Amino acid sequence: MQNGDALAALLCFLAFMVVVSTLIGAIILRAAVSLFNKLTGGPYTPTSVPEPSLGKAILITFATSVVNAVMLFAVASVTAPPAAPAGPRGSGVQLAAYLLSTPISLLVMASMLKATLPTSFGRAILITLYYIVVATLLALAIAAVIALVVAIFAASS
C-alpha cells in the first residue's frame, strides 16, 4: 500500500467515524432532552424543552463537535507548546488540558442548545449534564458487553 492509498483510507475511515459518532451523539442528545422533560414534569409543561428532530440533533451535535475540536486544539496549544519535552511532565500537561477542556465543552454544548432550542441557559446546562450521564451509561453498558463476550470466549478456549 502506497502512502497516498494509506492516507485516503485513513481519511475515509475518519469521515465514516465522524458520521457514526455524530449520529450516536444526536440519539444521545434526544434521549437527554427526553430525560430532562420526564424529570421536570413531562413534555407539555412550561419548563419542558421540545425534543429536536433527528436532523436538528445531528446538526447540533456536529456543530458542537467542531467547536469543541477547535477549542481543544487551542487549549492543547496553550498548555503544551510544540517544544515541550516528552516524558512524565507531558502526561501531566495532557491531563491539565483535558481537565481545562471539560468545562469548556460543557459550556459550548449548553450554548449550542441555548442557540438552537427554545430554552434557557440553565436548562441547556442540565440537558448537557444529562447528555454526559446518558453517554457514560451507554459507554459502560458497551464495555460490560465487550467484557462479557471476551470472558465467554476466554473461558471456552
DSSP state of 41: T
What pTM value is reported for the model? 0.81
pLDDT at 1: 60
Residue 32 near residue 131 (C-beta atoms within 8 A): yes
- The count of structural domains within the chain is 1
The helix-helix angle for 121-156 and 3-39 (nearest 10°) equals 120
Q: What is the mean pLDDT of the chain?
A: 87
pLDDT of residue 97: 72
How high is the pLDDT of residue 62? 94
Q: Which domain holds residue 69?
A: 3-156
C-alpha cell at 139: 459507554
The residues of the chain scoring below 50 in pLDDT are none
